[in-house]
Amino acid sequence: MATPVVELRNVTKSFIEGEVQALRGVNLTIYKGELMSIMGPSGCGKSTLLNLVGALDRPTSGDLLIDGVNLNDVENLDLFRSRKIGFIFQAFFLVPTLTALENVEIPMFDSGFVLPQEKTQKARQLLIDVGLEKKINQVPTRLSGGEKQRVAIARSLANDPAIILADEPTGNVDSKTSHMLIELLRRINQEKGATLIVVTHDPLIAAATDRVVQMLDGQIIGEKDPKSLLK
Ligand SMILES: Nc1ncnc2c1ncn2[C@@H]1O[C@H](COP(=O)(O)OP(=O)(O)OP(=O)(O)O)[C@@H](O)[C@H]1O
Ligand SMILES: [Mg+2]
């Protein structure tokens, strides 16, 4: 039986005292080990949804369960997030003055998940896993877009998260690189068993996932067969 890892029950999210209703009653169950994508037009609420699932923010109403824990019952969102969630963003968000290795070590500091003496070895191994063994001590300005995103992917894995969230991870790279990145995410999904949720505008990226959820105007309007996106 598939185990639910994320459950949204009638979740809403408003901004500016209700002036903007970014999510309007979202129901969604995501199962352990899924590789899924979320598509929809600009402004439909994809990032808002991802930020809630990533415990960066709380719903305005409704219930959001992550790994069986209701976010409404979590006092310290930062600690909760750092133990369970890995993030990958379109703009990479690497610290420019730190090396690839140091960037990957960052999330390990607060989580208490990785022993201090094991941090460097673990970060090194993660960079090797994403094919960056030759760039371990390079600063981000000396890396290509695809390499920067691979550092960001390695960083997202720092604390062995149960859930990895990627918001337009291929938005800033060419199509060949984006294909390589989605293959890397697929491999991580398979090898580590992590649940992966990818927000994307790119039908080819969505087609490489196992399940495609379609959003419109703050709601989920249905799912698409990934294969149908290739036609
Ligand atoms: N912090 C905020 N304050 C006010 N309004 C916000 C905030 N964050 C998002 N919104 C609004 O909520 C709606 C959904 O935004 P969201 O960023 O989730 O869209 P999106 O689907 O990710 O779009 P895109 O594809 O352009 O990234 C938009 O109308 C946006 O302007
Ligand atoms: Mg967005």
Regarding predicted confidence, which is higher, 18 or 97? Answer: 97
Report the C-alpha gap between 143 and 178 in whole angstroms.
Answer: 16
CB neighbours of residue 150 within 10 Å? 25
pTM of the model: 0.93
What would the mean pLDDT of 5-31 be, rounded to a whole number?
96
Average pLDDT in the chain: 93
Q: Nearest 5 degrees, angle CA 55-CA 118-CA 153? A: 45
Q: Which ligand is nearest to the CA of 18?
A: 1
pLDDT at 109 (0 to 100): 80
45: Cβ below 6 Å to ligand 1? Answer: yes
Distance (Å, rounded) from C-alpha 87 to C-alpha 199? Answer: 12
Average pLDDT of the segment spanning 90-110: 90
Q: Cβ distance 229 to 203 under 8 Å?
A: yes
pLDDT in tens, 36-45: 999 999 999 9
Residue 94's pLDDT is 93
pLDDT tens profile 170-190? 888 888 888 989 999 999 999
Predicted pLDDT of residue 96: 94
Would the pLDDT of 1 be above 70?
Answer: no
CATH number of the domain to which 225 belongs: 3.40.50.300
Could you give the number of structural domains in the chain? 1
Residues with CB under 5 A from ligand 2 (ion): 47
What percentage of the chain has pLDDT greater than the value 90? 79
Where helices occur in 85-202 by DSSP H, the ranges are: 100-111, 119-129, 145-156, 175-192
Take atom 29 of ligand 1 and give the residue whose Cα is closest.
43
Nearest to 82 by CA among 155, 151, 141: 155
The domain in which residue 69 lies consists of 4-230
